[in-house]
Amino acid sequence: MDRKGGEVFTILPSETLRSAAAAMREHEVSALMVMDGRAPKGIITERDIVQAISQHGAQALVMGVGTAMSRALITVTTRDSLRHAMRLMTVHRVRHLPVVDDGRLVGLVSIGDVVKLRLEDLETETNVLRDAYIAHR
């Protein structure tokens, strides 16, 4: 979260799937946290919207976000490792993990964030190993 930042875009469960899609486009994200006051109620993703449209057709766009959102939230904390987040995403087949500390939503991590951070870590490791090798010659 230190490198990514804690900005999370949210939506009310009563808003429509059309407004959720518009908010995702506007903020250039693929998921929104569904909030009722300060409490997270679920998450709505592009995948959820596509599934709703495939089941209900164009009528899905006027359905409430609360009818299509994923309610079972798989979460991490700021103390969890990148490896733990990757494991949760793989096991639960999710692309977004809400970050919750002390019962409070503090961020949202996507699979893209995880891949980016892992690549940065690998690049750092490679540079350290190369420098150690050169210094040891």
Residue that wins the pLDDT comparison between 82 and 20: 20
Q: What angle do CA 84, 90, 91 make, to 5 degrees?
A: 90
User: Cα–Cα distance between 69 and 44 in angstroms, integer?
Assistant: 5
Prediction pTM value: 0.81
Look at residue 91 and tell me whether its pLDDT is greater than 80.
Answer: yes
Look at residue 102 and tell me whether its pLDDT is greater than 80.
Answer: yes
Domains in the chain with CATH codes: 10-136 (3.10.580.10)
Q: What angle do CA 58, 62, 68 make, to 5 degrees?
A: 90
pLDDT confidence tier of residue 131, bands split at 50, 70 and 90? confident
pLDDT tens-digit map of 2-58: 556 678 999 999 999 999 999 999 999 999 999 988 778 999 999 999 999 999 999
pLDDT confidence tier of residue 120, bands split at 50, 70 and 90? confident
Q: Can you say whether residue 9 is alpha, beta or left, with left for phi > 0 and alpha for psi between -120 and 50 degrees? A: beta
CA distance to 130, 131, 137, per residue, from 95 (Å): 33, 35, 44
